[in-house]
Amino acid sequence: MINTMNTVSTLLDSFHNTWHLPILELVNHAWRDRTPEALLSAAKQAEQGIDALMYLQEVVERLVKRGDSTITPEEAWRVANDLEELACSLQYITVELGELAIQIAEECTVT
């Protein structure tokens, strides 16, 4: 029998390292650089990260609902909370990139 929580934790850690941290780094770079190119790079990565998170949520849901799942209700709550925090972070990143896009557009108009 597979330990469902270990599998889910590994998937969450992988998402964080593969998608979330690199997106945050690109967003920080975009704010420092303030160029359309840096903004576009961060926006593309964020969009792909959102797609990856949606897929991760589907996979986790399937794992938890399997008949041989070993996850407890408390663990399921923690996983749901972790996924919600990631979704909120990506939503906030999207808002941040929108604000940066407006600022870059205004700066380009002024010059």
Cβ proximity of 104 and 38 under 8 Å: no
User: CA angle, 57 as apex, 9 and 87 as ends, to 5°?
Assistant: 95
pLDDT tens digits for range 19-53 = 999 999 999 999 999 999 999 999 999 999 999 99
Structure confidence at residue 108 (pLDDT): 87
Cβ proximity of 28 and 47 under 8 Å: no
Q: What percent of the chain has pLDDT over 90?
A: 84
51 vs 25: CA distance, rounded Å: 18
| Cα 93 off chain centre by | 9
Structural domains present in the chain = 4-110 (1.20.58)
Q: What is the pTM of this model?
A: 0.89
| Residue 111 binned pLDDT confidence (cut-offs 50, 70, 90) | low
Model confidence at 1: pLDDT above 80? no
